[in-house]
Structure 1
Amino acid sequence: MVDLTALLADLAAESEQLDALVAPLPPAGWNRPTPAPGWTIAYQIAHLAWTDHVAQLAATDAEAFYASVTATPDPSRLVDDGAESFLAPPAALLARWRAGRSALAAALAAAPAGEKLPWYGTGMSPASMVTARLMETWAHGEDVADALGVRRTPTGRLRHVAHLGFRTLGHSFAAHGRAVPTEPVRVEVAGPDGDTWTFGPAGAADRVTGPALDFCLLVTQRRHRADLALIATGPVADEWLDVAQAFAGPPGGGREPAAARSEAAT
């Protein structure tokens, strides 16, 4: 059984770590651009606040959630329009995000364990929803940290992100219009405390190895594989590193290799 209380505590800790980065910023600091094209720090927090809001709707009022989806005139703009609708002056935005994530935690804690909550493209258990929110909070927190020139210390909470990244292997291929592989893949990554996290059958011929942080940066598309110390063995594993995405929806644009960014800047 998944310990939902422990999962929620990890989500709260991940949110508080990001909160500590943005709370001291002067108003102008919220306008600093992040690596996501067109997204400032304020936009990143507004996105998290909006997603927490729709996740709370999914956990408490399915009809309202579906109404929020169908009310979008341009589905391709769903994420951007959602974030823009939650933009506000920094103090108000920070308060909105704090209140929203607290309300979401309470809603997920009260959701029946076996219930499937509606979401974009698939239903999710309360535990899966918490894991997805933690993944998004960490990933967008990475964008904020990059914008501020801050190197965050990895924690054991990354195991949730790594596990979700492994579980979404099939979705990663399908989202990119590729056949979902039938061959299993073994993932063996080194956690920040020196332990090894493993996913998939031990005897799989296809394997991905390396630091857990690098695997999480890859599956959230925060770094290009060329900039990470990940080793893919086998054709399925190798192709996976090109398309991996732990988030729902259409294929993400990913990030360019650091070398390409350096050339563009010169």
Structure 2
Amino acid sequence: MAGMDEAVAELAAEHGDLDALLAGLADDRWLLPTPAEGWDIRDQVSHLADTNDICVDTITGGPRPLNEEALKFPTPEAFTQSGVDKGRAMTPAAVLDWWRTSAARNRDVLLQKDARDRVPWGLGMSAKMMATARMMETWAHAGDVRGALGMEPSATPRLRGIAFLTLRAVPYALSYAKVEQPAGTLRADLTYNGETWPIGPDDADNVITGDALEFCRLGIRRASRAQTSTLKAQGALAEAALDNLRAFL
């Protein structure tokens, strides 16, 4: 559908990168601990597979849409853990097949939507932003898999979409942290491979500058602000944003 091809192509590329890490991985290496405390590689992939399924049901009106499924659990952590527990009862090969099948279905249903169609995921987002959100989620957990395998996080031009999503999520992130949003408008000027990516209004009176990878890792909560070296804030809103970035629900 209109406007979805590029977003879903980026999601497919992120899926492909993770698949390349997992294909041929010996069973014992699926049990390697990842940087996420208590989770091994199988847990990371199980979480992605389960949330892929939930995304499909949210879009298609299936039996487990997010905003209904999450209410069945006492806490968000318990909801997340339920998907991990499914995978712990499966072999690595079965988890890989589950993830591959769910990822393909996720791409297929997104391609049936118009970019502007609304998806009731959390507070709601466009179908195009949903594709970017699934790309962000895949990149985040693939980074944990890479960490378990002794590899650095990947940094591709797809970071631009993740950075855009992260900046758009600043009001949600501040609300989640129970921080009153300072007045003003916000832009991020992020560097990647010698380029500068301006994200946000040209006339913004608050500006974040720095490395795109650092910004995105801060947004997925894989780094703290104290662990970054390039990110700078100009203005109270920019300061609050960097202190509380959160790209996911």
TM-score scaled to structure 1, two decimals? 0.86
Query: 1:156 and 1:2, CA in 2 relative to 1: closer, same or farther beyond 3 A?
Result: farther
- In the aligned structure 1, how far is the partner of 2:52 from the partner of 2:33? 22
Query: 1:76 and 1:140, CA in 2 relative to 1: closer, same or farther beyond 3 A?
Result: closer
Deviations 1:93-146 (A, max 9, x none): 0011000010111111113444322212x1222111101000001111111111
Q: In structure 1, the residue corresponding to 2:38 is in which secondary structure?
A: coil
The alpha-carbon deviation at position 64 of structure 1 amounts to 4.0
Deviations 1:16-38 (A, max 9, x none): 11111122221111111111111
- Letter of the aligned partner of 1:14 in structure 2? E
Query: 1:173 and 1:205, CA in 2 relative to 1: closer, same or farther beyond 3 A?
Result: same
Q: How does 1:54-69 map to 2 (within 5 A)?
A: 54-61=54-61, 64-65=64-65, 66-69=67-70
2:203 pairs with 1:203: yes
Query: Partner of 2:5 in structure 1?
Result: 5
- Relative contact order, higher structure (CA 8 A, sep 6+): 2
2:91 pairs with 1:110: no
Query: 1:152 and 1:176, CA in 2 relative to 1: closer, same or farther beyond 3 A?
Result: closer
- In the aligned structure 1, how far is the partner of 2:182 from the partner of 2:32? 41
Aligned residues, how many?
246
- In the aligned structure 2, how far is the partner of 1:109 from the partner of 1:202? 32
- In the aligned structure 1, how far is the partner of 2:61 from the partner of 2:51? 15
Query: Partner of 1:136 in structure 2?
Result: 137
Query: Partner of 1:96 in structure 2?
Result: 98
Runs of 4+ in 1 over 6 A off after TM superposition: none
TM-score scaled to structure 2, two decimals? 0.91
Q: Determine if contact 2:42/2:87 at 8 Å carries over to the other structure.
A: no
Q: Determine if contact 2:3/2:114 at 8 Å carries over to the other structure.
A: no
- In the aligned structure 1, how far is the partner of 2:141 from the partner of 2:56? 19
- In the aligned structure 2, how far is the partner of 1:103 from the partner of 1:128? 17
- Letter of the aligned partner of 1:15 in structure 2? H
Q: In structure 1, the residue corresponding to 2:222 is in which secondary structure?
A: coil
Larger deviation: 27-36 or 108-117?
Answer: 108-117
Q: How does 1:12-51 map to 2 (within 5 A)?
A: 12-51=12-51
- In the aligned structure 1, how far is the partner of 2:113 from the partner of 2:154? 32
Query: Partner of 1:174 in structure 2?
Result: 175
**CA-atom RMSD, angstroms?**
1.9
Q: Determine if contact 2:4/2:113 at 8 Å carries over to the other structure.
A: no
Consecutive unaligned residues of structure 2, counting only runs of 5 or more, are none
- Letter of the aligned partner of 2:111 in structure 1? A
Q: In structure 2, the residue corresponding to 1:21 is in which secondary structure?
A: helix
Q: Percent identity?
A: 37
Q: Determine if contact 1:2/1:127 at 8 Å carries over to the other structure.
A: no
- Letter of the aligned partner of 1:202 in structure 2? D
Query: Partner of 2:73 in structure 1?
Result: 72
